[in-house]
Amino acid sequence: MIEDTSLDMIRSSILLLLSEKPLHGYGIMKEVEGRIGRPVNSSLLYPFLKQLEETGVVKAIERPVGKKPKTVYELTDTGKELAARIYKRIASMVSTAITPDTSTCFHCGCKIYEGGYYEIIDDKVKTFCCSHCAQAYKNELAPPQQPSEP
């Protein structure tokens, strides 16, 4: 029995593969196996492709492949949008996993990987990348001064 996470990985891999190019079923099985190192059983693949077709994510097209026509699966516009969301989600997860805990400078927005400069402003601790950004932020908060009369 395939674990749910493995099944999700296989399904996501199928969608992402189809975002690169249209393929027939056997081609999908071989490509996915090569990428994730796990065989894809046809009893998983074809019902999943059928489900994707029924929901408008994939369209099946008869095309000549080699000596005889085969059903080639291609993402629809809806499928391409779904694949883009999956790519973004994966990128976000990877970024979170490989990026150390970071802070963001309250003034300039740069990422602070280590250290930082902290000040209490308006009874709240604010993080800055340096004392210069802290001062620039405080200067922006201060009301403009009226020129003094001679």
For the whole model, what pTM was predicted? 0.61
CA–CA separation, 59 and 66 (whole Å): 20
Tell me the two tokens of residue 93: 């997860």
Q: Where are the domains of the chain?
A: 4-98, 103-141
Q: What angle do CA 56, 30, 71 make, to 5 degrees?
A: 40
CATH class, domain 4-98, is: mainly alpha
Q: Please list the alpha-helical segments (H only) found in the chain.
A: 4-20, 25-36, 42-54, 77-98, 131-141
Confidence of residue 2 (pLDDT cuts 50, 70, 90): very low
Predicted confidence at residue 101, as pLDDT, reads 66
Confidence of residue 122 (pLDDT cuts 50, 70, 90): confident
User: pLDDT of 56-100, one tens digit each?
Assistant: 999 999 988 778 899 999 999 999 999 999 888 888 777 767 766
